[in-house]
Structure 1
């Protein structure tokens, strides 16, 4: 297995920062559009398709799964164990933000599995090439470094390593075994959002990681950075409520992955309008939900899966996580086998389609042409559910071949973003609930209506 799949992080974490946010007092929330990676307006629109053997989505899902299990198991490790953050490597939607004054556009990955918002910054000692211009901190009138005596920086105690009087600013440094790394200054600057409630631009001065030494040896897209949406203190999810009138909530919607013109959105605070069916959510290092079962075909009995396969264990392991940074869904082996067998059985009996000999989770054909009226897969949640059509059950891999949109992973179930497309997911961190609303076109006009 390549080093991409086995990133082991040697991490030196010397930062944390406190929110320093300002906005108009009548703000109802903050939002930004999501751009399909192959959209005409995307800087990555001309990226070439992979061969069938180069399955980046599967590789990144397995790497992501391993990372999330490591985060889960931190409670079982020595006190100094720090599990490695892992940047999503295969994405279909990017958030387009502007930062600084005057503003610079940046494209970032949404990641509910981490907390830090970081981007590459000029002038830098080492920056990897990215499609869009790199943010230059020296040209922003609103940029400031974060002092070591900032309250949240000090709140980490020895982890912040700011006790040396000669060290004026919080810094961060991540070093990966394969050579990928990012390090720099924890800083503040203005980030611009658009309020769909008032149709006005809003700015918030937020803390972020300003990457001055960055080396990206990973395959895939060279993005400007990562927008962490985890529940931690450094996440914008926690920073933005400091404005006062913005609730501790956020929502996102991914459009149809197979349509380059499909859009999406990300919203924070009161603009979220948490409509739809509500299901309980447990907030820990990730966002956990209660998956009760899986069915294939509306009105059909649920598949024969032991409900304990979805439950979180007393030691904190297991369970079901909803994650924006994982492409495919990952089920524990006993769940994966049942679901895969049911899907393959439908393909063979209803469509005379069989697995490829060299790629048992892939099949000859085209989803749109060959899988008409394929049964809906339902993920049964507490009080609601998620309906996955053929575009979420499968993914068109290469020309005349498609593959399953889920895989197997020990010890943890993950609902990936392929299974989330065409739904609005609203995370209410104050009430620990997740709202789920079907939204095929991810149209902001319907998302923000009262």
Structure 2
């Protein structure tokens, strides 16, 4: 979803220059494949699993794709955590999972994004956050009201779902970040070195979030028989003001940035010595999925190298050839993997080549 991200006064647009937006489309892989050595794993629970049936009853299961459907799926993780332990017996250190459950969900009614249920702070509070490989900041709606952030959502059946709103004052492990301790502070809003560190993240489609940076803990547990609690110190945005479709059901309860930036959750986990600096996302055909932090994959897996640009830390790959049926083009361009956008977007001349070549090979019947 994060199609552009600003830190201080710089704006980066993933559609500018020679960059293209691509949806990260992965085939539905089983959790054993997705779960690599030394990884942080999130298991998948089927929408017709026993915990969901216990919540709603078999006849009361909501329609697939509705908000009620996903509320039930995330709530069942707090009742039972059937974590998948395949491939984890000999791992050191033990893989970790989110304390509230480990599945990812494609929620059509909330912007066609993938979401995960995470818990932050002390005492622990849960949030349904969108997963975005196109930005680095993890932010939550914070000390805001229904005019500056999304505090609730009405489902198709008329039920009102209230979202948890983060508050630094309500968490004993929360500390504000000062202007002299982070490069992510907006210098225009730092009158002194000890002032609160203000941030502003601007996305395409006139979406933005702004507020202050704080430090708190992201609650994880080891994915083994011990289920040891691991509190990962992180820096997150206390989002006091959201704009655009953030106020209309698009990532309404926060966003978890996954790109290569130093402030992202994967980078922070690695920097704190909790696991390797890597992660994987696997999506099933029914909208469920799994995310693993510290996943190094297997020797049998094929690899595609990223084109790393330090000034623009997103997941770039170089495309060297396009095949449309029997037509082959040596056209080369750079593409970006972005789990925060729902569609594949192509710039010319790539788009024109694909559309014209495809149309020329279509036979009407």
TM superposition score normalised by structure 1: 0.50
- Partner of 1:252: helix, strand, or coil? strand
2:346: which partner in 1?
331
Q: 2:202 and 2:339 mapped to 1: Cα distance? A: 23
2:302: which partner in 1?
277
Q: 1:215 and 1:332 mapped to 2: Cα distance? A: 27
- Please state if 1:147 is matched with 2:207: no
Q: C-alpha offsets along residues 309-353 of structure 1, whole Å, 9 cap, x if unaligned?
A: 323xxxxxxx1222222222223333323333444455535xx2x
**CA apart distance, 1:161:** 5.3
Task: Quickly say closer, same or farther: Cα 1:198–1:122, change in 2 above 3 A.
Answer: farther
1:191: which partner in 2?
218
- Please state if 1:265 is matched with 2:287: no
**CA apart distance, 1:38:** 4.4
Task: Quickly say closer, same or farther: Cα 1:283–1:253, change in 2 above 3 A.
Answer: same
The answer as to whether partners of 2:150 and 2:249 remain within 8 angstroms in 1 is: no
The answer as to whether partners of 2:148 and 2:243 remain within 8 angstroms in 1 is: yes
Task: Quickly say closer, same or farther: Cα 1:346–1:96, change in 2 above 3 A.
Answer: farther
**CA apart distance, 1:169:** 2.0
Task: Quickly say closer, same or farther: Cα 1:222–1:202, change in 2 above 3 A.
Answer: same
**CA apart distance, 1:264:** 0.8
Q: 1:129 and 1:344 mapped to 2: Cα distance? A: 46
> Unpaired runs of 5+ in structure 1?
1-6, 16-26, 46-88, 312-318, 353-450
**CA apart distance, 1:33:** 5.7
Task: Quickly say closer, same or farther: Cα 1:272–1:95, change in 2 above 3 A.
Answer: farther
Aligned length: 267
2:61: which partner in 1?
none
Q: 2:187 and 2:72 mapped to 1: Cα distance? A: 37
- Partner of 2:169: helix, strand, or coil? helix
Q: C-alpha offsets along residues 63-102 of structure 1, whole Å, 9 cap, x if unaligned?
A: xxxxxxxxxxxxxxxxxxxxxxxxxx83242122111122
- Superposed counterparts of 1:35-114, under 5 Å: 38=66, 41-43=69-71, 90-114=111-135
Larger RCO (CA under 8 A, 6+ residues apart): 2
Q: 2:4 and 2:293 mapped to 1: Cα distance? A: 32
Task: Quickly say closer, same or farther: Cα 1:156–1:12, change in 2 above 3 A.
Answer: closer
The answer as to whether partners of 1:29 and 1:195 remain within 8 angstroms in 2 is: no
2:90: which partner in 1?
none
**CA apart distance, 1:187:** 0.5
Q: C-alpha offsets along residues 272-316 of structure 1, whole Å, 9 cap, x if unaligned?
A: 53551012211222222232323356xxx4x232x2x323xxxxx
TM superposition score normalised by structure 2: 0.61
